Amino acid sequence: MNDETSALAGKRSLGTLAVIGCSKVVAGMWRVREWNMSAAALNRYVQESMALGVTTFDHADIYGGGEVEALFGDALAQTPSLRAKMQIVSKAGIRPRGSSAGAVGVKHYDTSRTYLQAAVEHSLQRLKTDHLDLFLIHRPDHLANNDEIADAAESLIREGKIRAFGVSNFTTRQFDSLRAKVALATNQIEFSPFELQALDDDVFTALSSAAVSPMIWSALGGGRLFSETDELAVRLRRELTTLAEKYNASSWVSIVYAWIFTLPCAPYVLVGSRRLESLQQAVDGSGVKLSREDWYAILEAARGKPVL
């Protein structure tokens, strides 16, 4: 094995997300339409995010009925050179009524080869790019044909339209079943001190065994952590604030992200905010190394009881 081959093998051992260059903090774009930014303002946001080290941007074809991808594409077109320095993620498979992929009478999931390939083409057009760095199935489809999904994904990779393929919101069994047919780069799942199912269901253990890093969404519990009336949120903030002081962290919010980044499955975290400060808090959290005892202190505060 020559030096170049050895270096590549070492890089691949880090996982597909690392190979394609994803940043540990991912900017979630689902609320972009609500931000009411001009193309120039969104372009500045993208550049300022990248200056913080956040180079990966998460989309889905249903965000804003496709409008979010179009807005991002218009912003990106103002500085085309940015594309080579970033990673674009998009998802498909949910067909709501009034879907951008054509009107349907009943909301449903669609992971047919025809639909997935068409969804990628539409996303590329809206984003004004020739490829997605990562393409995900948004939700498990009860009528999924894993052979058909694998064939669609492999065709899209061969054609250069996507660099990697993965899933979102899959259970361990669903993930393993599809992974037996095609390589999966990630499973994008919900996890926070309020949503601990991934720990209880061994989702993270299974991903670690597969050398696959999850992408975490709703890390702050959809904003619940900021509540002044939620007793659990108040208790958690008290513990997080104490630890922020102990670790000289910029904010208790950074400690939440540090708690997630401590997981051995090497997670990536999505942050869906127009505030650059929010992205910075997550980036800061990636640099905080919690002790084992302090990690469990947060878990105890979240559950309201010590581990057995």
Catalytic residues: 63
Element (H, E) at 188: strand 187-190
Instruction: Name the residue type at position 102.
Output: G
One-letter amino acid at 292 equals R
Q: What single letter denotes the amino acid at residue 208?
A: S
Distance CA 38, CA 156 (A): 32
Give the span between the Cα atoms of 20 and 215, in whole angstroms. 14
Answer for the pair 282, 269: CB distance below 8 angstroms, yes or no. yes
Q: What is the DSSP string of 247-289?
A: TT-S-HHHHHHHHHHTSTT--EEEE--S-HHHHHHHHHHTT--
Give the integer Cα–Cα distance in Å for 57 and 64: 16
Reported residue count of the chain is 308
Q: Please tell me the distance from the alpha carbon of residue 93 to that of residue 70, in angstroms, as a whole number.
A: 18
Non-local (6+) Cβ contacts of 195 within 8 A are 218, 221
- Report which DSSP code applies to 16: H
> What tokens were used for 47?
């550049």
Place of tokens 């061969």: 158
> Are 276 and 221 in contact, with CB atoms under 8 Å apart?
no
